[in-house]
Structure 1
């Protein structure tokens, strides 16, 4: 499955479960590790886990399984890795602390 289509599945799964502040970053120019980074917040540990579970289930329905899922037990930050698309689902305080959006912004000067 193409990365663009997989990204849309991830975003739709997050929207279906009422994720908060969904952000999609195109990081193809910054890294060869992945194409898209999807970041979203949940309102509680249980909501974060449910969001990540829904992402996995919706992708599985389309024949895609994650390469790995990390952080399900604490539920403060769950990472779902599909290779070309990586989803980070976090509690708002965790998201503010790590500020992944800022870390992945291209800060190279223009030529």
Structure 2
């Protein structure tokens, strides 16, 4: 029988196992951060892996932007396009899956359900996958590129 308090409500027994909780959180954080190869990927190696995956999935107009010294959101930003909402979603899902299985990186996805603009946050690198019309509207890379580089893009 569950004990009742003076107000007549049931009381729940509280169990605390801080050591187990701390070890479990630390172990899962280590498992999530460590790639299968054992060594942590540098930002440049991760960027190369991302660019290869985007190329394999036929992403169009891929632009990489070096954010080091410009922003604290990451080291690089990658902007690319897919021809349709289906391709934008497929590119983003495949990239997240490849990063997880091949490199042990868990990426966060935003906007996947709409398929117009998907943001993939890997920590060091932020990837934006757009439909061409949406990319033209926001012109995200022009905000981050230097004026000379923006003129080329």
TM-score, with structure 2 as normaliser: 0.67
Secondary structure, counterpart of 1:33 in structure 2: coil
2:103 paired residue number: 62
Deviates further, 55-64 or 37-46: 55-64
Deviations 1:44-96 (A, max 9, x none): 00000010011111111211111x21001110000000111000000001101
1:21 paired residue number: 61
CA distance in 2, matches of 1:84, 1:13: 17
**Higher share in strand:** 1
Secondary structure, counterpart of 1:34 in structure 2: coil
Secondary structure, counterpart of 2:80 in structure 1: strand
**Higher share in helix:** 2
Superposition misfits of 4+ residues, deviation over 4 angstroms? none
TM-score, with structure 1 as normaliser: 0.91
1:101 paired residue number: 141
Larger radius of gyration: 2
What count of residue pairs does the alignment treat as equivalent?
106
